[in-house]
Amino acid sequence: MIAEIGHYALVLALALALLQSALPVWGARARDAALMGLASPLALGQFVLVAVSFAALTHAYVTSDFSLLNVIENSHSAKPLIYKISGVWGNHEGSLLLWVLILTLFGALVAAFGRNLPDRLKADVLGVQGMIGVAFLLFVLLTSNPFTRVDPSPLEGQDLNPLLQDPGLAIHPPLLYVGYVGFSMAFSFAVAALIEGKVDAAWARWVRPWTLMAWLFLTLGIAMGSYWAYYELGWGGFWFWDPVENASLMPWLSGTALLHSAVVMEKRDALKVWTILLALLTFALSLLGTFLVRSGVLTSVHAFAVDPARGVAILIILAVFVGGSLALYAIRAPALKQGGIFAPVSREGALVLNNLFLTAATAAVFVGTLYPLALEAATGEKISVGPPFFNNTFGPLMLPIMLVMPFAPLLAWKRGDATRAARGMVGAVGVAVLATVLVAGFVQGGPTLAALGVGLALFAIVGAFSEVMERTKLFRAPLGESLRRARGLPSSSWGGALAHAGMGVTLLGVVAATAWSSEVVLAMRPGEQIDFAGRQIAFQGVEQRPGPNYRTTAAELVVREGGVEVARLEPARRLYTARKMDLTESSIATFGVSQLYAAMGEERGDGKTALRISYKPLVTLIWLGAIVMAFGGLLSLADRRLRVGAPRKAARASPALQPAE
């Protein structure tokens, strides 16, 4: 019964979405306030209905209702509760329902908090959101209904893919989806602006918080996914250039570009046409990501839902939205008035460079991900595009970004003073050079380039704070005054600095973990001990343990430093009984920001057990950097909220600028 309510709620949501995509937009054209006013209640109603539907599916999972096909295929009564809940989105149908839930949540947020949006813009934005809702609700109902019943129903389910029974999976997809779907707001605003034929600084101001929110969740989602792959897939890599990872990286890159160009648009009323295009492309890449993951067109570690019929349906959605919006863009963009001009050496100029390189980096990931598919479709020739390709194309494009990144905030708008900016960077350059020399001189092993990598990372980290230092007059004014100035800085200044520093932190982790990781692969007998990475690691033996829906075989390793036990590692293999699937569970011990990583291989006939032990220096910085970036995003977001109550003088001087929310 509850499943039928869920199904019915979804049908009703579709009906509301249809109304939402037509009436407010029509109202905006006919200047009918009543029709435009329908947008908000429709968006709120649609969200409530989808939420009811999602709750119904969750209920079915929690109560192990094996009369639902979706629950049978992805759940098991013995599965721990957290994985019963996360199992709701650990499959094709459920994850799409989550997608729609987040989409309608964003619509509801605009309806609830977008009170000071102009009526027509709000009606158009929610109208476009309604259209996306129609497409995906139709898709769920016609091809991916999670509420299909089975009669007679079996007594037990087939369990969730063991790979996905992990706390990482419980949060990775929701974070990622908030990011993906959040970019739909930028898309809807862009389409609305194109329909109106008008876009100004105020528009950028409304779009920025949504984009920022999507960006920070996507950052966390990607980092989470990377860490999950690191400990779950068992060979200790943190980024595989897997097509599905690329699918999430592309919107992140173009979303990052969008954030920066929206700043230019907000402050200087320039780059309008480009910003609109980026907003369209970013969501197009999000849709492409959904297509790549959900269609199973790419066979990769993530492709656990393979069904070509669905692929075609998503491809149609992709074509309609991308094609439609780009056509609208081609027609309307030339009519958009160009705004402020600027010299090449200026904050705007630096941000244009940032955008160019980020776009080229997106292009590198895009072509590397899709080219093999296109080539095979066109000629039948099969080629592989793997990590070496991306390291050779994507890597060099990120270098200039890291180099220019600290400079941009030191340049003034319109016309900057390069010499003055360079003077502000002296400290960062000094630290970078010193670090490079020290690393090259004293650290053993690793490629020579790694020292430069460390230098670049430190340059980015220290340089990120040069604007803050400049503005607080640190070391140039008494400390008290610097502190007072630091408190007075808008939190978006701190946010920007932290986000940039986070990039440097991540780079440092990537460089160190790539260049100086050490690894042993060996077969050990119980009682044996090895010296590794300055520690002694003793293999105690193998132990069998029962689990809720699996059996574990764990190897016990004791890590000692100078005879003192500092950590225990228990790499294991799990046999999931329902799916008869074997899984490695790596074991990690963290020392500061470095990690010791162990994975267990086969137990061999001769009483030895195969073990792979690696030491990964500074590896956690990769993900800590992402957290720092996201925190920076959060600070910038907080800044915008603060401004709602107290618009600054600049904002008051020009009546077009209104607070964001």
Site membership for other proteins, residue 581 (CB under 8 A): yes
The pair of structure tokens assigned to 317 is: 């959605």
Site membership for other proteins, residue 634 (CB under 8 A): no
In the complex, minimum distance from the CB of residue 313 to other proteins, in angstroms, rounded to a whole number: 22
Site membership for other proteins, residue 31 (CB under 8 A): no
Interface positions, 205-264, toward other proteins (CB under 8 A): 233-235, 237, 240, 242-243
In the complex, minimum distance from the CB of residue 384 to other proteins, in angstroms, rounded to a whole number: 5
In the complex, minimum distance from the CB of residue 588 to other proteins, in angstroms, rounded to a whole number: 15
Comparing CB distances to other proteins, the nearer of 434 and 521 is: 521
What span, in angstroms and rounded, lies between the C-alpha atoms of 42 and 20?
6
Site membership for other proteins, residue 616 (CB under 8 A): no
In the complex, minimum distance from the CB of residue 256 to other proteins, in angstroms, rounded to a whole number: 16
If DSSP states are collapsed to H, E and C, what string results for 186-230?
HHHHHHHHHHHCCCCHHHHHHHHHHHHHHHHHHHHHHHHHHHHHH
Comparing CB distances to other proteins, the nearer of 44 and 542 is: 542
Interface positions, 441-480, toward other proteins (CB under 8 A): 471
Site membership for other proteins, residue 532 (CB under 8 A): no
In the complex, minimum distance from the CB of residue 301 to other proteins, in angstroms, rounded to a whole number: 6
Site membership for other proteins, residue 200 (CB under 8 A): no
Site membership for other proteins, residue 343 (CB under 8 A): yes
Stretch that binds other proteins, among 99-107, 355-363, 434-442, 451-459 (CB under 8 A): 355-363
Place of tokens 């920022």: 212
Comparing CB distances to other proteins, the nearer of 15 and 363 is: 363
Comparing CB distances to other proteins, the nearer of 323 and 388 is: 388
Amino acid in the structure at residue 570: E
- Binding to other proteins by CB under 8 A, coded x per residue (else -) over 397-426, reads x---------------xxx-----------
| Residue from 318, 373, 523, 593 in contact with other proteins (CB under 8 A) | 523
Stretch that binds other proteins, among 89-97, 107-115, 210-218, 336-344 (CB under 8 A): 336-344
What span, in angstroms and rounded, lies between the C-alpha atoms of 95 and 100?
9
What span, in angstroms and rounded, lies between the C-alpha atoms of 163 and 581?
9
Contacts of 310-319 with C-beta under 8 Å, sequence gap 24+, read 310/92, 310/139, 310/143, 310/144, 313/139, 313/142, 313/143, 314/139, 314/287, 314/290, 315/291, 317/135, 317/136, 317/139, 317/287, 318/284, 318/287, 318/288, 318/291
In the complex, minimum distance from the CB of residue 656 to other proteins, in angstroms, rounded to a whole number: 11
Edge-to-edge strand ranges of the sheet holding 609-616: 518-524, 609-616, 594-603, 587-591
| Residue from 30, 320, 327, 341 in contact with other proteins (CB under 8 A) | 341
The pair of structure tokens assigned to 278 is: 């980026």
Site membership for other proteins, residue 430 (CB under 8 A): no
| Residue from 255, 573, 613, 635 in contact with other proteins (CB under 8 A) | 573
The pair of structure tokens assigned to 563 is: 């005879």
Site membership for other proteins, residue 427 (CB under 8 A): no
DSSP state letters, 77-121 = TTS-HHHHHHGGGSSHHHHHHHHHHHHHHHHHHHHHH-TTS-HHH
- Judged by CB under 8 A, the number of residues near other proteins is 72
| Residue from 22, 51, 138, 389 in contact with other proteins (CB under 8 A) | 389
The pair of structure tokens assigned to 473 is: 């007059």
Site membership for other proteins, residue 300 (CB under 8 A): yes
The pair of structure tokens assigned to 614 is: 């690696």
Comparing CB distances to other proteins, the nearer of 65 and 348 is: 348
The pair of structure tokens assigned to 368 is: 């590397």
In the complex, minimum distance from the CB of residue 488 to other proteins, in angstroms, rounded to a whole number: 9
Sequence-distant (6+) residues with CB within 8 A of 353 are 400, 404
Site membership for other proteins, residue 305 (CB under 8 A): no
614 three-state secondary structure = strand
The pair of structure tokens assigned to 613 is: 């032990």
Biggest CA pair distance of the chain: 83
Stretch that binds other proteins, among 20-28, 64-72, 540-548, 582-590 (CB under 8 A): 582-590
- Binding to other proteins by CB under 8 A, coded x per residue (else -) over 106-145, reads ----------------------------------------
Site membership for other proteins, residue 492 (CB under 8 A): yes
Site membership for other proteins, residue 656 (CB under 8 A): no
Stretch that binds other proteins, among 94-102, 378-386, 537-545, 562-570 (CB under 8 A): 378-386
Site membership for other proteins, residue 309 (CB under 8 A): no
Site membership for other proteins, residue 386 (CB under 8 A): yes
What span, in angstroms and rounded, lies between the C-alpha atoms of 184 and 135?
13
Backbone φ and ψ of 152, nearest 5°: -75, 150
Cβ distance 561 to 578 under 8 Å? Answer: no
- Binding to other proteins by CB under 8 A, coded x per residue (else -) over 275-294, reads --------------------
Q: What number of other Cβ atoms are within 10 A of residue 4's Cβ?
A: 11
Place of tokens 């101001």: 205
Comparing CB distances to other proteins, the nearer of 234 and 453 is: 234
| Residue from 70, 226, 256, 359 in contact with other proteins (CB under 8 A) | 359
Sequence-distant (6+) residues with CB within 8 A of 181 are 99, 102, 103, 106, 214, 286
Residue 445 has what DSSP assignment? S
